[in-house]
Amino acid sequence: MNSISNLAAKFRTCPVTGLKVDRTAENLIKVNAVVAVVCLLLGAVAALLIVLTRWQAVHLLPAEWYYRLLTSHGLNMLIFFIIFFEMAVLYFAGPVLLNCRLPAPKLGWVNFGLMVIGMIMVNTMVYTGKADVTFTSYPPLMADPMYYLGIILFAVGALLVTFQFMATLVVAKKEKTYEGSIPLVVFGALTANIIAIITLLHGALIFIPAFLWSLGLMNMDPQIYRLVFWGLGHSSQQINVAAHVAIWYLLAGLTCGGVVLSEKVSRAAYVLYILFISMASAHHLLVDPGFGPAWKVWNTSYAMYLAVLASMIHGFTVPAGVEMGLRLRGYTNGLFEWLRKAPWGDPGFSGMALSVVIFGFMGGITGVTIGTEQINIIAHNTLRIPGHFHVTVVGGTALAFMAVTYYVLPLIFQKRVAFWGLAKLQPYLFGIGISIMGMGMIFQGIFGVPRRHWDITFSGALFPVEFHPAVTFFQAVMGIGGIIAFTGALAFILIAVVTVFFGKTVTEADLKSGASGLPQGVLKLPPQVHTGAHVVKAHETGARGTVVLVGIFFVCFVLYYFTNWKILSFLWKVG
């Protein structure tokens, strides 16, 4: 009897999904998600102040505080917010989706403690002015040893969580909590987990020596630092890609009954990520003289394009899965009835859809183009680079994380989402804002505006530097987009915080009556009908609408790619 009551205390059964939920895993999801939102707030406030400084018409901060906040923004957004949230994703995709216990639950708390201590140490060093080294901390810029130690502690904690996830897979298989292969969403999380291990190993390989260097115990070769650092710095963003693609598949299913067109194709695309996506780190070294063309071209083109292929596969299969899911529910008329009738008022769906579009159309196209060695010479270290990664990491990953939060709140925190009307608007506000800001940055970069720089008028410089007058316009575009995106981020934080700490608990009556604050995937997802005329029609027509959308994507891709070759030809005019 005791063992049965112990087991009951260890698990709860979700009234919506019927899944058996390990309570420790659930608590770890909650605390990781809460700390992620705190880091998001720190990063977002810094973001607003940075964009209002880079906008020369405003030029808010003095140089010292600009670079300090740039360091804080990069670390809190690219590392802390994202990785804390990814830890929550791993605890969800492991014990919860596999319906099993969390192995070594106490270790989960130790890991979380290490990560929090690391995060606090790093932020303390940054805000006390002991680490004005920006996100990259390139030598010879040196921070206080506690800064490097903080990053090491954070990375060790995260690495241990990735091992815990691998152990969860072993436990679930041994205890037969699932049949056949692991579900596709869990396979996506496994992909993110493997990329995280590759990333964190590089982090250990460079930040342990950097720590010793800061103590004066060894020398540091800047070129080797750059090589190994980017194995961490860029690959950490590839964890995001794998994680947010897994979230796309999850939300496609949860929000509108999206189907997986081909398990084989989607899994093969994930394997391509595992093998090749981390090599994109070499993009940062394309103008470094220390590496030969073979190394550069292999890592950024031949091998990397296999990972690009994988992204394009997911970029087709996710919307096509949504289309087929909706066609199987009867929306079979024309090319786009399914798109018009999709649940655009569900923030889980709208956030996912905007994430796919922004990541694919803006992030993907710009990334592949500027990652080409020849074209990189006109884009490297310009504002085009942050423009690119803001639409991939923020418009793609952060927006997908926000979208899934609207399902995590009722399913894991068991709370009705507060400010439901605002929640419906929030993904649009954030997605549109970040797209406008990204476009403003990308166009400034095309006109040669440098990244990172505090003052692009270069006042006091020996030689006058002038940019095309259009830059002034695109600065305003960037600034206005940034303010809209910040408002969207703030709305998300407000909704999440109020829901978690003051939200109403979800009751069975709420589920039956369709109370406000519960997305439609939680309330009343219509069952899929596998018989009838519309099902035959859906199978006959296939995902034609998505094929048209993908056609538009390729036209945009070709136009942007070859326009850049044209711009390059102006720069390197022959004759």
Partner 1 sequence: MSTNQEVPLGQRLCDSPFLLLIAGIVVMFAFYTIWGLIEVLNLPQATLP
Beta-carbon neighbour count of residue 467 at 10 Å? 18
Figure out which of the listed residues 80, 84, 135, 187 binds partner 1, where binding follows CB under 8 A: 187
Figure out which of the listed residues 281, 311, 369, 564 binds partner 1, where binding follows CB under 8 A: 281
In contact, 395 and 356? CB cutoff 8 Å? no
Pick between residue 100 and residue 436 the one whose CB is nearest to partner 1. Answer: 100
In the complex, the smallest distance separating the C-beta of residue 244 from partner 1, rounded to whole angstroms, is 18
Question: What are 76's two structure tokens?
Answer: 């809190």
In contact, 516 and 420? CB cutoff 8 Å? yes
Nearest one of 443, 426, 445, 440 to 485, comparing CA atoms: 426
Our finding on whether 227 is near partner 1 (CB under 8 A) is yes
Residue 382 β-bridge partners: 450
Our finding on whether 223 is near partner 1 (CB under 8 A) is yes
Our finding on whether 287 is near partner 1 (CB under 8 A) is no
Pick between residue 186 and residue 383 the one whose CB is nearest to partner 1. Answer: 186
* C-alpha to C-alpha distance for 337 and 355, rounded to whole angstroms: 21
Figure out which of the listed residues 267, 504, 534, 544 binds partner 1, where binding follows CB under 8 A: 267
Nearest one of 566, 112, 241 to 102, comparing CA atoms: 112
* C-alpha to C-alpha distance for 434 and 440, rounded to whole angstroms: 10
The 3-state DSSP class for residue 22 equals strand
Our finding on whether 231 is near partner 1 (CB under 8 A) is yes
Pick between residue 7 and residue 268 the one whose CB is nearest to partner 1. Answer: 268
Q: How many CA atoms lie within 13 A of 66 on its CB side?
A: 17
* C-alpha to C-alpha distance for 277 and 238, rounded to whole angstroms: 7
* C-alpha to C-alpha distance for 286 and 299, rounded to whole angstroms: 10
In the complex, the smallest distance separating the C-beta of residue 191 from partner 1, rounded to whole angstroms, is 8
Binding segment for partner 1 (CB under 8 A), chosen from 16-24, 223-231, 310-318, 439-447, is: 223-231
**Tokens 């500027």 map to which residue?**
370
In contact, 418 and 515? CB cutoff 8 Å? no
Figure out which of the listed residues 55, 81, 91, 276 binds partner 1, where binding follows CB under 8 A: 276
In the complex, the smallest distance separating the C-beta of residue 182 from partner 1, rounded to whole angstroms, is 8
Pick between residue 292 and residue 527 the one whose CB is nearest to partner 1. Answer: 292
Our finding on whether 551 is near partner 1 (CB under 8 A) is no
Figure out which of the listed residues 49, 201, 377, 550 binds partner 1, where binding follows CB under 8 A: 201
Our finding on whether 271 is near partner 1 (CB under 8 A) is yes
Our finding on whether 91 is near partner 1 (CB under 8 A) is no
Q: Is the dihedral of CA 355, 136, 197, 11 positive or negative?
A: negative
Our finding on whether 573 is near partner 1 (CB under 8 A) is no
Pick between residue 49 and residue 275 the one whose CB is nearest to partner 1. Answer: 275
* C-alpha to C-alpha distance for 246 and 157, rounded to whole angstroms: 23
Our finding on whether 373 is near partner 1 (CB under 8 A) is no
Binding segment for partner 1 (CB under 8 A), chosen from 17-25, 82-90, 265-273, 322-330, is: 265-273
Our finding on whether 83 is near partner 1 (CB under 8 A) is no
Question: What are 198's two structure tokens?
Answer: 């590759």
Binding segment for partner 1 (CB under 8 A), chosen from 68-76, 132-140, 270-278, 350-358, is: 270-278
Pick between residue 68 and residue 283 the one whose CB is nearest to partner 1. Answer: 283
Figure out which of the listed residues 18, 140, 292, 469 binds partner 1, where binding follows CB under 8 A: 292
Our finding on whether 290 is near partner 1 (CB under 8 A) is yes
**Tokens 């901390």 map to which residue?**
137
Nearest one of 406, 402, 510, 387 to 450, comparing CA atoms: 387
The 3-state DSSP class for residue 462 equals coil
Binding segment for partner 1 (CB under 8 A), chosen from 18-26, 46-54, 81-89, 290-298, is: 290-298
In the complex, the smallest distance separating the C-beta of residue 290 from partner 1, rounded to whole angstroms, is 5
In the shown chain, the binding pattern of residues 157 to 176 toward partner 1, with x for contact by CB under 8 A and - for none, equals: ---------x--x-------
Our finding on whether 298 is near partner 1 (CB under 8 A) is yes
User: How many residues contact partner 1, by CB under 8 A?
Assistant: 39
In the complex, the smallest distance separating the C-beta of residue 149 from partner 1, rounded to whole angstroms, is 23
Q: Which residues of 441-459 are buried (b: 16+ CB within 10 A; e: fewer)?
A: bbbbbbebbebbebebeee
In contact, 324 and 259? CB cutoff 8 Å? yes
In the complex, the smallest distance separating the C-beta of residue 235 from partner 1, rounded to whole angstroms, is 8
* C-alpha to C-alpha distance for 515 and 519, rounded to whole angstroms: 9
Pick between residue 174 and residue 264 the one whose CB is nearest to partner 1. Answer: 264
* C-alpha to C-alpha distance for 312 and 283, rounded to whole angstroms: 19
Beta carbons within 8 Å of 134's beta carbon, 6+ residues apart: 67, 70, 71, 74, 141, 452
Binding segment for partner 1 (CB under 8 A), chosen from 17-25, 280-288, 382-390, 436-444, is: 280-288
* C-alpha to C-alpha distance for 575 and 133, rounded to whole angstroms: 44
Question: What are 189's two structure tokens?
Answer: 């999380």
Our finding on whether 44 is near partner 1 (CB under 8 A) is no
Q: Which residues bind partner 1 (CB under 8 A)?
A: 166, 169, 181-182, 187, 190-191, 194-195, 197-198, 201-202, 221, 223-224, 227-228, 231, 235, 264, 267-268, 271, 274-276, 278-279, 281-282, 285, 290-292, 295, 298-299, 303
